[in-house]
């Protein structure tokens, strides 16, 4: 009797998350170093050896790193969707299936961009207020965005 075990099927969630998490942010050396710094800072703070500044800086770097990594993944996806929509619109316009009023489209895009700028400014102010070390968070965002 030579029977082989059935191969397990991957779930939809596993297939969807595989490309996103193929190179996770927590595998980066700077993320691991900031995690160790945060843990050491929390340990030193709890034993009253020092203030929580080290833990705050490390946690801010980690938050910024994860934010930068997420923004990078989101920007890639948004560019892919925008390019696909632009190609679809170009094809439909070339074939004559749609007619576009460009002045109306430009006004709508400007309105959406102004709204987005306002929301981004509010998010920046809230983030700066909640993260104890904006410099560490900025460095973390930079390194997280660069994470490949």
Q: What would the pLDDT profile of 81-109 be if each residue is shown by its tens digit?
A: 999 999 998 899 889 888 888 899 899 99
pLDDT at 71 over 60: yes
Domain range list for the chain? 26-98+133-146
The residue-averaged pLDDT of 110-122 equals 92
Report the greatest alpha carbon distance in the chain.
74
Phi then psi for residue 142, to 5 deg, are -60, -50
pTM: 0.61
CA distances (Å), origin 59, targets 111, 127, 141: 36, 13, 12
């Amino acid at each position: 009797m030579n029977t082989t075990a059935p191969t397990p099927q991957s779930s939809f969630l596993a297939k969807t998350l595989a490309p996103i998490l193929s190179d996770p942010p927590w595998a980066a050396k700077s993320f691991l170093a900031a995690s160790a710094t945060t843990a050491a800072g929390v340990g030193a703070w709890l034993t009253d050896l020092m203030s929580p500044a080290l833990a705050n800086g490390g946690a801010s770097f980690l938050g910024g790193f994860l934010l930068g990594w997420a923004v990078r993944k989101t920007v890639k996806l948004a560019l892919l969707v925008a390019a696909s929509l632009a190609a679809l619109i170009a094809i439909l316009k070339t074939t004559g299936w749609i007619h576009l009023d460009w002045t109306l489209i430009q006004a709508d895009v400007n309105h959406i961009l102004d709204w987005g700028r306002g929301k981004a400014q509010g998010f920046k102010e809230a983030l700066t207020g909640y993260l104890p070390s904006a410099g560490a968070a900025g460095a973390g965002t930079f390194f997280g965005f660069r994470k490949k």
